[in-house]
């Protein structure tokens, strides 16, 4: 048989007596606030940096898009297409037209995909078979064993082919994976995944391992560098990728989320043979500026990169040593070092960058370890968006930021070390934020950390607290300044009687405008007694009916916002959206609109629980019973 007539087999195994789960965790990568390209790039580069071999050399990554006639490549996908038809799944129109397109992602100066090929629990088979399991020790950026789902989602037919050369034994190994649809097909109950393999071998597979197979895979899919240029690495061919993935988008996402790694020469990325490195990053950033999601980059690329360079290699740093990692540790330091703090404020007023190294104890059962992070802060130029970025080991955690950055740029960087390891345990599945839940708490305790979430809370508060503490104080305004503008504060308006909230007849006065917008206010009607109780807890609250009332139903609007020191705090969609939080209701019907929850058909047994708010911010909840 000629080489290009070979049909390399895929196997779609039976389930047997084991359970299945069709869910592939895709919802955690399907977010409106982070385009899919961002998630794809973050997972790809994170995995590669974690597998870095020689720390004196950068990780090399290639993202290359291809399109060609099917030709000999068809022999690698024939079985897969038949399986998809059997499962009732869609087939790309390009396949029917004899066209094939794919995206190859490769990394070098990495270990390759290691592990005993005969051991189901090895790194190799964990990657291909054991979702949710990982042999990572937590010292890197990943560790939950689910990031690989990102690459399957990137394919319109949820299929990839992986090629690796391992540094331990120099072996080349190839496997492919496709998500299908579990179910009964005639006399067989099929699994959720099919694999590009030779045959089933007990609880693993026997892989295709002929020299012809390896040679054809490299040739037909464009895997490069696995023979002479590099001794080890890992590559994935993503079959029929979604059109949302573009070279420009990948370059922009790489700069937005990994710029410090590029600037520090830890990472070099090539996209369709355009090389992104520490020398080309500025030019490429300008070329793809319209693809940035972050406005502080999009509208001022040079300023952003200049600031990151300063943050990555500060010429001098102010040393700030906190006595503990408690909630008020930063404020305590500020109070006892007033001269140093005033100097920082003066530098910021003079539009100077201020570099700080903030040290604090991280407590483990084995003893305290002093850890640190670097921070650079300065005034935001007039008319610019403030920079507000947090990086761990060169990778951004974009949700670790201030809710109100004001007019101060701030970048924080956590280098490789014990603090980075700790933070990895606190990060969510998509590595966007620092979280606090029972799973994370138990994991931290298991790893020997004491006062497990103190450091997480301290760091999560830094973007806001640092800004607040270095902002020069403002004088308290004269209480009479706006008297002429607000007649309710004018004694002549209320008949000479003292007190700002009465009308000329001595009745309570409200600043609420009239129905048509005219008029300065109207008398306040006596408030109806509330029929609900609010019970707050760490990340949310429960609103439940008072049992003593017997006239139901009641309709009520419940507004949620973060406290800002005012009587009626403002809400922003950047704070939270109720629809994204966990809302559980009992014995009522609810409607959600932004930060407002409307409760209808309530009764004596009504309960509404809302959780998932930021534990570092005080929650403000207001009830408005409707007439």
Residue 69 above 60 pLDDT? Answer: yes
- pLDDT of 504 reads 40
pLDDT (average), residues 328-356: 91
Q: Average the pLDDT over each of 26-40, 388-402, 445-459 and give the range with the smallest value.
A: 26-40
CB 555 within 8 A of CB 598: yes
- The three-class DSSP label of residue 590 is strand
- The three-class DSSP label of residue 74 is helix
CB 321 within 8 A of CB 279: no
- What is the CB neighbour count within 10 angstroms for residue 495? 11
pLDDT in tens, 451-480: 888 999 999 999 999 998 888 664 334 444
- What is the CB neighbour count within 10 angstroms for residue 582? 11
Highest mean pLDDT pick, 372-376, 562-566, 610-614: 372-376
**Averaged pLDDT of the chain:** 84
What is the band of 496 on the pLDDT scale with cuts at 50, 70, 90? very low
**Tokens (6 digits) for 276:** 């992104």
pLDDT in tens, 108-148: 999 999 999 999 999 999 999 987 666 555 555 444 445 67
CB 137 within 8 A of CB 78: no
Residue 490 above 60 pLDDT? Answer: no
- What is the CB neighbour count within 10 angstroms for residue 501? 14
DSSP state of 76: G
Beta-bridge mates of residue 376: 355, 411
Of 380, 197, 195, 204, nearest to 295 by C-alpha is 380
**Tokens (6 digits) for 595:** 């930060």
Q: Which residue has the tokens 């138990």?
A: 442
Measure the CA–CA gap between 135 and 230, rounded to whole angstroms. Answer: 25
| Number of residues in the chain | 627
State what percent of residues in the chain have pLDDT above 70: 85
CB 69 within 8 A of CB 33: no
Transcribe 264-295 into DSSP letters.
TTSEEEEETTEEESTTTHHHHHHHTGGG-SSH
State what percent of residues in the chain have pLDDT above 90: 56
What is the band of 265 on the pLDDT scale with cuts at 50, 70, 90? very high
Residues 6+ apart with CB under 8 A from 111: 51, 53, 166, 167, 168, 232
Highest mean pLDDT pick, 128-137, 479-488, 585-594: 585-594
CB 48 within 8 A of CB 231: no
- What is the CB neighbour count within 10 angstroms for residue 395? 23
Beta-bridge mates of residue 532: 545
Measure the CA–CA gap between 607 and 224, rounded to whole angstroms. Answer: 60
What is the value of pTM for the model shown?
0.73
Measure the CA–CA gap between 575 and 364, rounded to whole angstroms. Answer: 33
């Amino acid at each position: 048989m000629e080489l290009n007539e070979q049909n390399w087999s895929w196997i779609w195994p039976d389930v047997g007596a084991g359970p299945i789960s069709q869910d592939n965790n895709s919802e955690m990568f399907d977010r409106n606030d982070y385009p899919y390209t961002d998630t794809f790039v973050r997972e790809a580069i994170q995995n590669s940096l974690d597998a870095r071999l020689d720390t004196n050399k950068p990780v090399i990554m290639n993202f290359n898009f291809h399109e060609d006639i099917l030709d000999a490549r068809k022999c690698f996908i024939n079985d897969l297409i038949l399986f998809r038809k059997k499962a009732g799944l869609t087939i790309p129109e390009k396949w029917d037209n004899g066209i094939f397109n794919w995206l190859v992602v490769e990394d070098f100066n990495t270990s390759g995909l290691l592990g005993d090929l005969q051991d189901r629990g090895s790194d190799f088979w964990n990657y291909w078979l054991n979702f949710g399991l990982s042999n990572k020790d937590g010292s890197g950026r990943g560790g939950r064993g689910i990031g690989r789902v990102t690459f399957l989602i990137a394919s319109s037919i949820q299929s990839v082919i992986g090629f690796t050369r391992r540094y331990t034994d120099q072996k080349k190994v190839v496997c492919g994976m496709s998500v299908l649809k579990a179910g009964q097909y005639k006399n067989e109950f099929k699994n959720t995944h099919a694999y590009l393999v030779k045959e089933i071998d007990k609880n693993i597979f026997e892989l295709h391992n002929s020299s012809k197979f390896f040679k054809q895979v490299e040739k037909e899919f464009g895997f490069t560098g696995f023979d002479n240029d590099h001794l080890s690495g890992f590559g994935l061919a993503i079959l029929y990728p979604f059109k949302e993935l573009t070279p420009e988008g990948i370059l922009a996402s790489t700069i937005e989320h990994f710029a410090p790694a590029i600037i520090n020469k830890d990472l070099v990325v090539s996209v369709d043979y355009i090389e992104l490195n520490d020398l080309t990053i500025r030019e490429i950033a300008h070329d793809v500026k319209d693809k940035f999601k972050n406005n502080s980059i999009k509208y001022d690329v040079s300023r952003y990169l200049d600031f990151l360079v300063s943050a990555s290699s500060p010429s001098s740093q102010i040393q700030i040593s906190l006595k503990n990692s408690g909630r008020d540790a930063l404020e305590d330091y500020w109070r006892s070092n007033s001269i140093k703090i005033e100097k920082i404020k003066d530098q910021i007023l003079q539009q100077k960058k201020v570099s700080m190294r903030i040290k604090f104890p991280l407590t483990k059962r084995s003893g305290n370890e002093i850890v640190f992070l670097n921070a650079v802060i300065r005034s935001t130029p007039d008319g610019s968006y403030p920079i507000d970025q947090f990086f761990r080991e060169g990778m951004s955690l974009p949700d670790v930021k201030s809710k109100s950055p004001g007019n101060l740029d701030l970048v924080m960087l956590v280098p490789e070390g014990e603090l980075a390891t700790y933070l990895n345990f606190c990060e969510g599945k998509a590595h966007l934020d620092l979280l606090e839940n029972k799973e994370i708490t138990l994991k931290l305790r298991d790893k020997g950390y004491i006062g497990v979430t103190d450091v997480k809370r301290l760091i999560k508060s830094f973007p806001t607290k640092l800004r607040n503490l270095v902002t020069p104080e403002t004088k308290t305004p004269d209480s009479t300044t706006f008297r002429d503008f607000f007649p309710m504060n004018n004694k002549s308006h209320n008949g000479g009687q003292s007190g700002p909230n009465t009308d000329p007849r001595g009745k309570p006065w409200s600043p609420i405008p009239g129905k048509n917008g005219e008029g300065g206010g109207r008398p306040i009607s006596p408030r109806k007694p509330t029929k609900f109780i609010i019970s707050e807890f760490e990340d949310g609250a429960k609103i439940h009916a008072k049992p003593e009332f017997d006239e139901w139903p009641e309709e009520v609007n419940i507004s949620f916002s973060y406290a800002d020191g005012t009587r009626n705090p403002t809400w922003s969609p950047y704070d939270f959206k109720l629809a994204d939080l966990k809302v559980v209701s009992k014995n009522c019907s609810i409607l959600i609109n932004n930060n407002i929850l409307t409760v209808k058909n309530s009764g004596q047994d009504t309960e509404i629980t809302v959780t998932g708010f930021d534990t570092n911010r005080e929650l403000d909840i207001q009830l408005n019973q409707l007439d």
